[in-house]
Amino acid sequence: MAPRKWNRGNWPIAAAMIQYPNTLADGRSVQDQSVEEWFATLADIVDAGFTELDPTDSWIRLADLSSGRLDQFLALTRSLGLAIPAISTARRSVIDPEHGGSHLAYGHRVIDTAAAIGAGSVSFGLFGPLTDAQKKTLWFWTVDGVKNPDDAATWQKAVSRIRELGRHAEELGIELALEMYEDTYLGTAESSVRFVEEVGLANVGINADLGNLIRLHRPVEHWMEMMAKVAPYAKYWHVKNYTRMEDEASGVIVTHPAPLEYGLINYRAAIRMALAHGFESPFLCEHYGGDGLSVSAANRDYLRRILPREQGH
């Protein structure tokens, strides 16, 4: 096996921006904020000790900024010592029954933007917007959301559109990671592998966000069995963890967000499984609830303890 390009000291581990909404309390969008206002938010990321950022598009859509505004954003991140190894998209499915076409066009803009700013990875998903019921509940994953249809034609449409994005990304030297998410065509390990194999491009793999599945209040496959199936296809990886309690007698299942090292998934073992298949992509630290940024920072430090040492050490 060729020497790894990264080790625990320099592996790109980005902060997610899920704690920060796109729409502000005064009704404005983050898209329209001043550089000084962007600075106030990004200062949190720096103060938490991060040197990498994923400008998650639930916070800001870099692909929809003008070239001048994008230059301002990049100048700010550079001044703060923040690199951008990847861009994640959320709830912009290319098979959305109403907006799928526009989401596909947006996906192409995201890939072009990633290339322009030097980000080597992009994460896409096939999950839809939160429903009204999900928005009203404490934890949105405890309520069923939008589901991909059990329809062969829609599956093939999804494969075709992701392949289109993958070929575009391939031309620019960018990898695509498809996010595992319940009730989508990447809602199980087996389905995720089948989908990626049908896309059939070496630069298109799986965002092994098993946290999205183990948090569900329903029976799910054991995380280790899922990881064994998706590890050969793992690319840009969103990492988060949950506790999970199952009462066999009553059938009650309860989950709660947890720091990486304390939850159900043993990330030391999961990462080693991916590394055994040559995994060399960035990580993104996410956490819901409380001070999610601080928990993500602790998760980053945990990853740096368990990732490979320098070659020969």
Q: Which two tokens stand for residue 220?
A: 């799910």
Handedness of CA 139, 144, 146, 152 (dihedral sign): positive
pTM, two decimal places: 0.96
* Gap between the terminal Cα atoms of the chain: 16
Identify the CATH class of 13-306.
alpha beta
Q: What is the pLDDT of residue 8?
A: 97
Kindly give, in sequence order, each residue whose CB lies less than 8 Å from that of residue 36, ignoring residues fewer than 6 positions away. Answer: none
Determine the pLDDT at residue 313: 47
Helices assigned H by DSSP within the chain: 35-47, 67-79, 100-117, 132-136, 152-171, 189-199, 211-214, 223-230, 267-275, 292-306
How much is the pLDDT for 235?
98
pLDDT per residue of the chain (313 residues) written in tens, 0 to 9: 567 799 999 999 999 999 999 999 999 999 999 999 999 999 999 999 999 999 999 999 999 999 999 999 999 999 999 999 999 999 999 999 999 999 999 999 999 999 999 999 999 999 999 999 999 999 999 999 999 999 999 999 999 999 999 999 999 999 999 999 999 999 999 999 999 999 999 999 999 999 999 999 999 999 999 999 999 999 999 999 999 999 999 999 999 999 999 999 999 999 999 999 999 999 999 999 999 999 999 999 999 999 999 864 4
Q: What is the pLDDT of residue 4?
A: 78
pLDDT at 312: 46
Helices (H) and strands (E) counted in the chain, each on its own, are 10, 9
**The pLDDT of residue 135:** 96
The predicted pLDDT at position 233 comes to 98
Domain boundaries, given as residue ranges, for the chain: 13-306
The whole-number pLDDT of residue 1 equals: 54
Question: Among the residues of 127-201, which ranges form H helices?
Answer: 132-136, 152-171, 189-199
Question: Whole-angstrom Cα distance, residue 45 to residue 80?
Answer: 10
